[in-house]
Structure 1
Amino acid sequence: MNQNHTQEEANRKARPVAPKVKELIGRTQSVILATTDAEGVPNSSYAPFVQINNTLYILVSFMAKHTKNLADGRKASVLFIEDESATKQIYARERLTIEAAPSQIERDSETWNAVITQLKDTHGKVVDVISEMQDFILIALQPVKGSYVNGFGSAYFVDQNLEILEHRNDVNHQSK
């Protein structure tokens, strides 16, 4: 019992605080997207984003495959990952993977206008141009659940509020 208590305490002390997750998002200007089409064919891409509360917003064109996949309401996976040039160990890059539910924001709605303003403040005047193009739509990506990794043996479940829940795996990596 004492050994279990010691292990639980070590896990609690090692658990990163939620600001680490939010710091990773804050250091990132774009997200890596994984979507699938109606036949289940995967597509990976990226999009600049803004975060308002816990929702991620992307302004994307129907010229990109991921836009139709998202507009059709298929779940998406969103990846935030530490820059390769900043990592100490390429196999253990800090990363946050989120399963997200997409929804399209109605053009010229109150939400549309607020998010477009935030996108322009974050990414520049190009947003004025592309937001007027009819093939661009605004997608909200609402986090459902995810995982945060910040090193070997340091993987955690994340909830819809991007808060760390618990250690993801109580079984350590196994040697041959």
Structure 2
Amino acid sequence: MNTTHTEKKAKPVAPKVKELIERSKSVILATVDAEGNPNSSYAPFVKVDNTFYILVSFMAKHTKNLSEGRKTSIMFIEDESATKQIYARERLTIEAGISQVERDSETWVNVIIKLKEAHGKVVDVISEMGDFILIALHPVKGSYVNGFGSAYFVDSSLEIIEHRNDVNHQSK
């Protein structure tokens, strides 16, 4: 029996994905503008149920891109200083649907409270500024990587559904 092959096919425990998210205070954003030009940025977030919320300003390019409902990808990634191998950092990349939360709605109020708990009193100040909006990012699908040959598809609930491929890296 080839134990190396068996180990590669074993799914990581689902909580590993959730632990990566819990260790993160911000999410990396990949957006595109009306002309298809890419923009990368980040935003502090909170996760409520299965939705990520970010409070962002229209002074940032990504906010306009997100507010116009274009596709986005978000990523959580292991801190460089904590990784054992820079080429194999643990990461979760998610394609996400986008919706804007109506200011002063019940969801707005509840999420602002959670953002303040997570990120401090600055949330009180910026949530009152007119150029800040609350965006909900709804996971659609994605991938989780936690090492060489250890890549998995995840579903909209961020559960691992299958190994991404059974093809090993090829030698030159």
TM-score (normalised: structure 2): 0.96
Q: List alignment gaps of at least 5 residues for structure 1.
A: none
**Are 1:21 and 2:17 counterparts?**
yes
Which residue of 2 is the match for residue 160 of structure 1?
A: 156
- Write out aligned runs for 1:12-161 (5 A): 14-161=10-157
CA RMSD of aligned residues (A): 1.5
- Cα distance, 1:105 vs structure 2: 0.2
The one-letter code matched in structure 1 to 2:103 is: R
- Cα distance, 1:150 vs structure 2: 0.1
C-alpha distance after superposition, 1:87-106 (max 9, x if no partner): 00000000000000110000
**Structure 1 stretches of 4+ moved >4 Å:** 9-12
The one-letter code matched in structure 1 to 2:138 is: Q
Q: Quote the Cα distance in structure 1 between the aligned partners of 2:149 and 2:38.
A: 28
Q: Quote the Cα distance in structure 2 between the aligned partners of 1:111 and 1:82.
A: 30
Q: Quote the Cα distance in structure 2 between the aligned partners of 1:64 and 1:91.
A: 30
- Cα distance, 1:162 vs structure 2: 0.3
Q: Quote the Cα distance in structure 1 between the aligned partners of 2:141 and 2:32.
A: 18
- Cα distance, 1:47 vs structure 2: 0.1
Give the % identical residues. 79
C-alpha distance after superposition, 1:136-171 (max 9, x if no partner): 000000000000000000000000000000000111
Which residue of 1 is the match for residue 171 of structure 2?
A: 175
Q: Quote the Cα distance in structure 1 between the aligned partners of 2:168 and 2:8.
A: 13
Q: Quote the Cα distance in structure 2 between the aligned partners of 1:11 and 1:84.
A: 24
Task: Give the secondary structure class of the aligned counterpart of 1:160.
Answer: coil
Q: List alignment gaps of at least 5 residues for structure 2.
A: none
The one-letter code matched in structure 1 to 2:93 is: T
- Cα distance, 1:11 vs structure 2: 5.2
